[in-house]
Amino acid sequence: MLVGSRPGPWKRGRVLAALALLLGLFLLLHATIPNRIGGLGSLVETFLPWFGLFIPVLLAGAMWRRSASAVAALLLPVMVWLNLFGGLLGDKSHPAGDLTVVSHNVGADNSDPAGTARDLVASGADVLGLEEISQQDGGTYEKELAKAYPYHTVQGTVGLWSKLPLSDTRPVDIKTDVGPLAATKPADVTLADSRALRTTVATDHGPLAVYVAHLGSVRVNPRAGFWTESRDRNAQALSEAVAAEKNERVVLLGDLNGTTDDRTFDGLTSQLDSVQEAAGDGFGFSWPAKFPVVRIDQILVRGVKPESAWSLPATGSDHLPVAAGISW
C-alpha cells in the first residue's frame, strides 16, 4: 500500500462494523441478559423495540465513512429486529368482529372521571374493563356508565361493565399489596385491596370468561435497579388462575405494567395471544398518554379470534384506552 493512501471500503469503519454486530447479538440474545442484576433483563425487554433506533444511526456513520464492512454488518441487527418486530409494522386488522372489548387504566388521580366515562361509552364497546378505580371516583363511573352498560361488577380497584349479562363473578387473588402503588398517589386518594376479577359474559355464541387485572407497579431506582417484585408475583398468580380456567374462551383485560416481550409474562403469553400482535396496526403503545413509548395495557385472548386492535384517544388518565374486536 502506498504511504498516505486511504484504506479500502472493506477496511474502513471497523469500529462501526463491530458496534453493528454487537447490536445484532444484543437483540438476538436479549433473553440471556440476567434479571438477577437489578432486573436488567426485564428493563431491556420493556424497551426492546426502541433499540432499533441505533440502526439508522450506525447506517449514517457507515455512509459517512463509506464503509462497506459496516453496512454489511448492519444486516444482522436489521434482520433480527425485523424478525422480532416486523410483524407489527403492517395493518392486520379486519372489519369483522362479534364483540368489542376495551381495557383502560382510568387513573386514580384522574381529574375528569365523568368525561373519561363518557368517552368510553362513545367507543361503542360491548365490554369495558377498568383498572385503578379509586373509592372516590367509583360512584362516578357507576353513574355515568349505568345507562349504556346495565351489567357491571367492581372488585376493589378493578371493574367490568357489560351490555351482556354477567355471572360467576369473583375476585382473583393475585397476591398483591398496595404499598408501592399507594405511595405514588395523592394523599386524598384511597385504593382498595383487590386488583383482579373474573366473570362470565353471556354472549350469543356461548359463555366467555373475562379477567380484569391491574398488576403491581414497577420502579427504577439506583439501589434496586428495575424493581418488579410485586408485578412479577402478580403475573405468576394470574397465569396460574388462567391455567385453571375451565372455559375454553378467555379474554384478559388489564394494565400489566409490562410488555409482552418481557420474560415475566411467559406464563401468560404461552396460554393467551396478544390481540395487538395478531390483529393490530403498529405497536399500539399505551403509556404515557401524552407520548406513548410502551404498551403496558394489554388485551390477551384464548379460544376467540382477534379481528382488530387499536388505541382510543386520550382521556383524563395517563394511560390510553386499548380496544379489540373479537369473533368466534
Q: Which of 98-107, 216-225, 314-323 has the lowest mean pLDDT?
A: 216-225
In a domain, 163, yes or no: yes
Domain coverage including residue 44: 14-88
Listed residues 69, 88, 107: the one ending a domain:
88
Work out the pLDDT band at 181, boundaries 50, 70, 90. Answer: very low
Work out the pLDDT band at 178, boundaries 50, 70, 90. Answer: very low
SS3 259: coil
Strand partners, 326: 99, 306
Listed residues 41, 67, 88: the one ending a domain:
88
In a domain, 7, yes or no: no
Q: Rounded CA gap, 324 and 97, in Å?
A: 9
SS3 50: helix
Q: Return the pLDDT at 26.
A: 98
Residues 121, 238: one domain? yes
In a domain, 129, yes or no: yes
Strand partners, 226: 220
Contact present, 68 and 9 (Cβ < 8 Å): yes
CATH of the domain at 119: 3.60.10.10
Q: What is the mean pLDDT of the chain?
A: 93
pLDDT tens, residue by residue, 218-245: 998 877 789 999 999 999 999 999 999 9
pLDDT tens, residue by residue, 122-160: 999 999 999 999 999 999 999 999 999 999 999 999 999
Residues 30, 169: one domain? no
In a domain, 235, yes or no: yes
In a domain, 176, yes or no: yes
Q: Return the pLDDT at 11.
A: 80
Residues 112, 158: one domain? yes
Strand partners, 206: 203
Work out the pLDDT band at 17, boundaries 50, 70, 90. Answer: very high
Residues 156, 274: one domain? yes
Q: Return the pLDDT at 183.
A: 42
Residues 62, 116: one domain? no
Residues 170, 31: one domain? no
- Mean pLDDT over 242-264 rounds to 98
Residues 43, 103: one domain? no
- Mean pLDDT over 300-310 rounds to 98
- Alpha helices, DSSP H only, in 29-172? 40-46, 54-65, 68-73, 75-85, 113-122, 138-145
Place of cell 366473570: 199
Residues 222, 193: one domain? yes
Task: Write out the three cell numbers for 181.
Answer: 402503588
Listed residues 34, 62, 88: the one ending a domain:
88
Contact present, 48 and 41 (Cβ < 8 Å): no
Entry pTM: 0.91
Residues 310, 208: one domain? yes
Q: Which of 36-40, 163-167, 172-176, 214-218 has the lowest mean pLDDT?
A: 172-176
In a domain, 1, yes or no: no
In a domain, 197, yes or no: yes
Contact present, 299 and 276 (Cβ < 8 Å): yes
Strand partners, 144: none
Contact present, 210 and 302 (Cβ < 8 Å): no
pLDDT at 192 over 60: no
Residues 107, 72: one domain? no
Q: Rounded CA gap, 91 and 103, in Å?
A: 21
CB neighbours of residue 222 within 10 Å: 6
Q: Rounded CA gap, 280 and 156, in Å?
A: 31
Q: Return the pLDDT at 327.
A: 97
3-state helix, strand, coil split of the chain in percent (to 5) is 35, 25, 40
Greatest alpha-carbon pair distance for the chain in Å reads: 85
Residues 31, 124: one domain? no
Strands 158-162 and 127-131 come out as: antiparallel
Residues 174, 291: one domain? yes
Question: Is the model more confident about 175 or about 6?
Answer: 175
DSSP-derived secondary structure letter, 184: T
Q: Rounded CA gap, 273 and 104, in Å?
A: 19
Domain count within the chain: 2
- Mean pLDDT over 309-316 rounds to 97
Q: Return the pLDDT at 5.
A: 60
Contact present, 249 and 207 (Cβ < 8 Å): yes
Q: Return the pLDDT at 182.
A: 44
